[in-house]
Structures are given as structure tokens and as C-alpha cells.
Amino acid sequence: MSKKTRLLIVDDSVVFRTCLRSCVNTLADVEVVGAAQNGRDAIVKIKSLKPDLVTLDMEMPHLNGIEVLERLQKEAPNVCVLVLSSASETDAERTMQALKAGAFDFLIKPDPSNKNQKEILLSMLKEQISVARSVASVVRQATGVSRSNKRQTTKATHTRMAPKARKPDIVAIGSSTGGPMALQKVLTNIPKNFSVPIIVTQHMPKLFLASLAKRMNTDSKLECKLIEDGMPLESGCIYVAPGEIHTEVEHVGAKLHAKLVDGPKVHHCKPAVDITFHSLVKLAPRVNTLAIVLTGMGADGAAGAKALADKHAYVIAQDEASSVVWGMPGETVRLGAAHEVLPLNEITAAIIKRCEVG
């Protein structure tokens, strides 16, 4: 019988703590080991109870969520923290700060007025707790330390032969769970004089993607913009696909432009990486793509990466050891799409190297 995931609930609302505990108590593989009503209480209980997973509210007395995460980086770096956020612009910005500070992911709290609040919360928790179980024993990604030795970098035999070296016209990146931290690490070190546009498709709600773009614009040497329909894609800029709509790339005259396209979710996601990747397949070989598939749950981006590789684009997948979840990059490797499988801390250099070819 597998060991239960030990969960600590941290929230200053007794009503929400009770609701969350009620949901978790229906899960056979999870045990609530305690609850904390403020940040100071949370630090004490994390040290004494040693939970595998902490659900963390952002706004609390006696240390808020960010302050708790900053303390945990120094005092309990191995605990997985799942942020529970409200769907507001202010909370979206706080959540981006929390992900940068070491939280592995976040959930948006259901509206308390929704009669199905518990069912919605339970459904989201089941998925996230499954992810948390796979990362509970590792140093959190905020430390920049790779996964433990139990996970090995994928063997080179799983990669395909590289096409003839050719400078890309665009870098296209797809990511999901763990993506904000991975994007932060990859993109903040791209030099200011970078010679091609970078387009990012990250699975996140609309408000949170706007906050992600804003934060990357502050942290990166490159200008970062949230994509608008018809926006030209300029060299030396990062473009983040907005939420609740898909993003394609099209050729207009001599320039690449972004095109926002409504439609059904793909891989349960909107925006979907595959939509962006497949739009670039249509432009090949006239437009040469460097595709990067980073950490994320599921398989979005893998089929698109394979189609791009078949059109002589170059594909890099993040390795298992440094991924929070080796779903998307793992499937990319399994499909035989990847030319390189690299740890996160080597991907920036690989991007720069490929873009200097020519």
C-alpha cells in the first residue's frame, strides 16, 4: 500500500479551511496532518509536522504567503507548496511572486457562492496532489537544484539526428506545470541584442498570463509583451500568448505576425502549445523554428514538436531530472521529436548557440 501524502492546510479563513479539509478527507491517498491560520503558525507546523504538501493562502496575518515562502526557502526547502489564489488582478500578481519564490503551482479558489464549490475544488485538488506526490521529495525548483538522483537525464539514444544547422527565424516555447519558474530561468539570461522573436505559450488563466508577461518584462533583458491580434513579432522581444484563446503565427508580407484564434480547447488547454507549433509547421521551411518544450503536465506540444522536427525545425526538450512534471517534454522525447534533451540550466546557452548559426 502506497504511503499517503501528508497535507498541511494554511488559510486564515476557518470556513475555507473546513471546506478544504472536507474535500481532502474524501481522498484515500491523502492525510490532512494539520491546519494553520496564519503565516507564523504555518512555519511552526511545517517544521513540527513535516508535511509533503502545503496549501498556502496569500493574504494572512503574521507573515503573508510570500513571506512564508521566503522563510521556507531557507528553513524547509523540500516541502511542496501549492498556492490557493483568488481570480483578481492583485492576486494574479501575488501568485506570480509566489511562483518565483518557490511555490510549485497554484489553484484558483472557486467562488464561495457557487453551489458546486466543493466538487470544483476537489477535482482541481486531485490533479494537483498527484503532481505534488511526484515532486514532494525533491528540492523545490526555486533553488535551481535539479531533481534527485532517482531521476536520470534521458539517454541520447532517444534523440533524433540534427538537421543541417540553420539560424531560426523564431523561437517557440511551450510550458505548463512548473513553467513560470522554468521560463524565468531560461529567458532572463537571453541577451538584449537577441536576433529573433520568442513566442511563449504557457498554460495559465488569462489574468495570470498578463501578470506573467508583466513580471518577465521587468526581469528579462528583452521587452516582453502580451500578444494582441495582428501584432508583428519583432526580433529581441518575448511574446506571451494570452489566455482563453489560441495563438497562431502567420506570415504577412516579409514579417511574422501573431494571430489570435478562438476554438475548442486542445489537450484541455486554451491557449494550447500544439496550436502555435502547428501554425509554424504550415510556414516551414520558409520560416525556420527553434521549438522548446519545457516542464508540464500532459502531452500538449509534443505532436506539434514532432511535426516541426519532420519539417527540419530544431527541437529541444527539458530533461526529466530538472522538470517539475516530465509530461510534455517526456512525450516529445517519446515521439522522437527532440534533437536535444537538456537540463533547464543548459537550455539558454543552447538557444543562443542555435540562434548564432548562419
CATH of the domain at 56: 3.40.50.2300
Whether residue 135 is found in the same domain as residue 189: no
Cell numbers for 201, please give them.
505559450
Give the closest residue to 42 by CA, choosing from 62, 23, 22: 62
Whether residue 181 is found in the same domain as residue 311: yes
Round to whole Å and give the CA distance between 176 and 269.
Answer: 10
Whether residue 128 is found in the same domain as residue 230: no
Round to whole Å and give the CA distance between 95 and 98.
Answer: 5
Give the closest residue to 53 by CA, choosing from 15, 24, 88: 24
Q: CA distances (Å), 145 to each of 111, 173, 308, in order?
A: 36, 22, 31
Whether 17 is in a domain gets the answer yes
Length of the chain in residues, anyone? 358
Whether residue 45 is found in the same domain as residue 192: no
Whether 216 is in a domain gets the answer yes
For the question of residue 86 being annotated catalytic, the response is: no
- Confidence label for 128 from pLDDT (cuts 50, 70 and 90): confident
Whether 30 is in a domain gets the answer yes
User: Tell me, what's the pLDDT at 135?
Assistant: 63
Whether 149 is in a domain gets the answer no
Tell me the whole-structure pTM to 2 decimals.
0.88
- Of 143, 170, 193, the residue at which a domain comes to its end is 143
Whether 162 is in a domain gets the answer yes
Round to whole Å and give the CA distance between 292 and 296.
Answer: 12
User: Tell me, what's the pLDDT at 158?
Assistant: 55
CATH number of the domain residue 214 falls in:
3.40.50.180
Whether 168 is in a domain gets the answer yes
Residue 68 clears pLDDT 90, i.e. is over it: yes
Round to whole Å and give the CA distance between 192 and 209.
Answer: 22
Residue 133 clears pLDDT 80, i.e. is over it: no
Q: Which domain holds residue 198?
A: 156-355
Whether residue 78 is found in the same domain as residue 41: yes
- Residue 166 sits at φ, ψ, to 5 deg, of -150, 135
Q: CA distances (Å), 44 to each of 36, 55, 208, in order?
A: 9, 15, 30
Whether residue 161 is found in the same domain as residue 303: yes
Q: How many domains is the chain built from?
A: 2
If phi > 0 it is left, if psi is from -120 to 50 it is alpha, else beta; for residue 308 that is alpha
- Of 96, 120, 143, the residue at which a domain comes to its end is 143
Whether 304 is in a domain gets the answer yes
Residue 66 clears pLDDT 80, i.e. is over it: yes
Q: Report pLDDT digits (tens) over 310-349.
A: 999 999 999 999 998 999 999 999 999 999 999 999 999 9
User: Tell me, what's the pLDDT at 165?
Assistant: 81
Whether residue 174 is found in the same domain as residue 272: yes
Whether residue 119 is found in the same domain as residue 168: no
Whether residue 215 is found in the same domain as residue 350: yes
Q: Report pLDDT digits (tens) over 263-284.
A: 999 999 999 999 999 999 999 9
For the question of residue 111 being annotated catalytic, the response is: no
Round to whole Å and give the CA distance between 194 and 200.
Answer: 15
- Confidence label for 142 from pLDDT (cuts 50, 70 and 90): very low
Give the closest residue to 92 by CA, choosing from 176, 272, 178, 213: 213
Whether residue 291 is found in the same domain as residue 231: yes
Q: Are 275 and 257 in contact (CB under 8 A)?
A: no
Whether residue 268 is found in the same domain as residue 320: yes
Q: Is 217 exposed, middle or buried (0-12, 13-18, 19+ CB in 10 A)?
A: middle
Whether residue 126 is found in the same domain as residue 167: no
Whether 139 is in a domain gets the answer yes
- Of 118, 143, 168, the residue at which a domain comes to its end is 143
The helix (H) or strand (E) run that includes residue 291 is: strand 289-293
Catalytic residue among 203, 246, 267, 339: 203
Round to whole Å and give the CA distance between 196 and 194.
Answer: 6
For the question of residue 176 being annotated catalytic, the response is: yes
Q: Report pLDDT digits (tens) over 223-240.
A: 999 999 999 999 999 999
Catalytic residue among 85, 146, 175, 176: 176
User: Tell me, what's the pLDDT at 154?
Assistant: 46
Residue 149 clears pLDDT 70, i.e. is over it: no
Catalytic residue among 41, 91, 105, 300: 300
Task: Estimate to the nearest angstrom the gap between the alpha carbon of 140 and the chain centroid.
Answer: 14
Round to whole Å and give the CA distance between 273 and 246.
Answer: 8
DSSP, residue by residue, 301-334: THHHHHHHHHTT-EEEEE-TTT-S-BSHHHHHHH
- Confidence label for 259 from pLDDT (cuts 50, 70 and 90): very high
Q: Are 229 and 262 in contact (CB under 8 A)?
A: no
